[in-house]
Each structure stands twice: as structure tokens, then as C-alpha cells.
Chain A
């Protein structure tokens, strides 16, 4: 057994909170640069150029790319040969979030008691933590701050197996069209297909962690990702919804076996500030 003190986790979470909010991943930056080259709308080009300028300012000045520094979503892969010492794992994670959002001058966007008082918790806790036990003696932490504007435009559909590919396509296009300018396009569309209600939404969120430009290893699923991206970009919504060719940068699909009676589909929409950073302890 390898012993890891939870203080290590706190420090790593703090660092990831700050870095993910200041530095846009290079694959997303490249996708925006490619979109700028291809965009036909003059106003759309100006917007994409502003978006690229913005991430450059954030990187150079060490400030948040977007003021919505999100709820803190964490995917934790815990090696089964690790023995955690020094305290409670979940408290250690929240302490990392608390320090990261304070020391990084990030906005605290979490409210307690979500439908009555809606009082700000003051430190962006609690984090939303998904833990998976895996072989090995390491801990992998993927941290993805998630903004409210794009999350609000996400959707879940308990589709019938007979709805088929056509039904999924309609559900995705309707959801993106209805979202319009709200989720800050160009967007990344994470789609989960299969599993149960919670599994399908979880894999939709995990789909957002994939690098822009990479496809699902199943060639048929990859083909469907490309087809959906093309269809979405025919909608005309464009950068910020001002009209144009770049409505989405990527469509990422993850699948999971489903019940014989079910075909759940979750669509998790991500804005162009597609933040995530990871570390291995």
C-alpha cells in the first residue's frame, strides 16, 4: 500500500482550480483559431477574434478567462493500492476548492438551499465529486469548473429504442437550436447515450473532457459525431448567436449499455471556455 496524505490532494485541487480558470486548454484554443479561419460571417469573425484575445489576456495576466468560474466538478480516480491518511478525503477536496477560489480570486458561485434561501456558501464548496476506484497506487484528479449558462441549456431525454438514430439527432438539434445564444456559442456538445438516468448524464459530462478533434474509438459513433457537428453548424446560430457557421466546435459522444426497454440520451452543453485540467499524485 502506498500512503498518501490528503493534504497532497488539497494542494493539488487548489492548483487545478486556479490553473483551469486561467489557462484555456491548447486543443480548444486551436479549435477556435481554425473556426476563425473558416467563419464566413464578418461579425462572427470579430467575436471569435475577441474570444481568442480574451484567453490570451487571461493567460498573460493570470486572471479568470470567464467571470463564471463555475461549480467545481471533480473526477477522482483512486488507485486501490492507495491508503489515504491525514484526514477525510471529501473534506480535503473541499478545502482545496476553498483555497483555490480564495487565492485565485475566483468568483464564488455556489448557493446553499437551492430553492428557498439560495444563500451563497461563500467559498464555492461543496465540490461535485465523482470517485472511481481503479487499479494501481496513484490518484488522478481531473477538475472541470462548469459554468451555469451552458449547464442550464443541457437536457435529458428518456428516448424509446424505436426512436433510433433519427430520434437522437432530432433531440440534439432541437436542444441546440432552443439554446441559441444562451450557452455562449461556439459550444462543445457532450452526449451520453445508454445506461440509467444518472449514468447517461455522467457520461455526457465525461464526454466534455475529451480533446476537441478526437473522436469516439467506435467508428460508427465517430461518424455520428461528425454528422451531428455538421448538422449543428448548419443551424446558422454562429459565434455568440450573432449568425454564422461556427455554432459548435465539437460533438463528443460516450455510450454505455442500456436496459432492453430504454435509450436514455443526455446532452451536456459546454461553452467555448471549455476548462479542465488534470494531475496525477
Chain B
């Protein structure tokens, strides 16, 4: 059975999540991918205010398709997380608690997840049409010039994700593969 959780993520919720758990996420999450991360990091380095408060928040690595008339958002599946590894520890040090993406993370990111008691979720890569159905509201709140790479504020209902790296550093990509490897 999937665990139903709400943002912002409290320590209590995060402590209860284990690598391999299926989770249905509810509440506000923010989008951000390559170009937006670069800008967020630049703002932090210059000591300037971020366009949103990231304390205990979740960033979803996604660049959605444009919405068709009548749609809240176009297809919106995860992008490869590794490209955000250079920026993720900095954001976690400034309060970010959750990331949604797909694919492998660096050791620096894993260490930062443990240090900051954060969590890394994966959404199903390539399932953009399915995932868009769980997004109920979408609004661009920063960097509109970046188009699909702008930061959106999303309200999600039962958005399906899987815990990949939990706050203890357990990694489903390692344990899952070990379990099914045939030598």
C-alpha cells in the first residue's frame, strides 16, 4: 500500500519513509531543472532572496509540455536528476527537504540527504501523461523567460512517487539491482 503524505515535509514524515516505499504526494511542490537551478544557486551565492521559500519544500525536476486548451499542464514526467547534482546540496543546506526526479545521484547528494534529513523520490520516467493527471493547479512563479524550464508552483493530489534514497542513505537503485541480479 502506498503511503499518503503532504508537503511541506516534516522530520516526522521523512523519518518514516524508506527506500522502496510507494508514496502518494499531496500539496504544493515546485518545478525546477537545469537553467532554474543555475539561477537559484547564483541567487544564494549573491546572498539574494529566492523566488520561493524552500524550507521543507519539494522540487520536482521537470520541464513540462505546454498545456492544451482546457488542460492544467501538459505532460509532465521527471527529467534525469544527475544534472542537478551540482546544485542540490546547496539547496538542501538552505532548507530543501525533497527532490523528485529519476536516475542516479552523486555521493555528495547522498551525503547531503543524510546530513539534512531529506529524501529523494523518483516518478516514473516517460509517464508524463499519467503524472500530469495528478497535477491540479500550475502557475509560473519565477523565470518565465526560461519557458518549459521556468519555476512552476504546482498543487498535486496523490502524485505517485517511489522513495529512492531515504534520510538514512538507503538507495533503492542499489538494493533493487542487487536483489534481482543474476551472476
* Interface of A toward B, CB cutoff 8 Å: 40-41, 43, 46-47, 50-51, 53-55, 57-58, 61, 63-69, 105-109, 118, 120, 122, 148-149, 152, 180-182, 184, 234-238, 240-245, 271-273
Contacts and interface: CB of A to CB of B under 8 A. Distances in A.
Given A58-B75, A67-B63, A243 B126 contact: no
Contacts of A118: 35
Given A63-B75, A118-B35, 12 more contacts: A41-B179, A51-B124, A53-B130, A65-B129, A67-B74, A67-B76, A148-B79, A236-B182, A241-B176, A242-B122, A243-B180, A244-B176
A241 B75 contact: no
By secondary structure, the A interface counts as: loop
A46 B130 CA distance: 13
A58 to B, nearest CB: 4
A152 B83 CA distance: 11
B181 A236 contact: yes
Contact of A181 (B77, B103, B131, B175): B103
A241 B162 CA distance: 11
Given A43-B162, A47-B124, A63 B132 contact: yes
Interface of B: 20, 22, 35, 62-68, 71, 74-77, 79-80, 82, 102-104, 122, 124-133, 147-148, 160, 162, 172-173, 175-183
Given A69-B65, A180-B173, A236-B178, A54 B20 contact: no
A148 B68 CA distance: 23
A64 to B, nearest CB: 4
Contacts of A51: 124, 126-127
B173 to A, nearest CB: 5
Contact of B181 (A40, A46, A235, A241): A235
B125 A57 contact: no
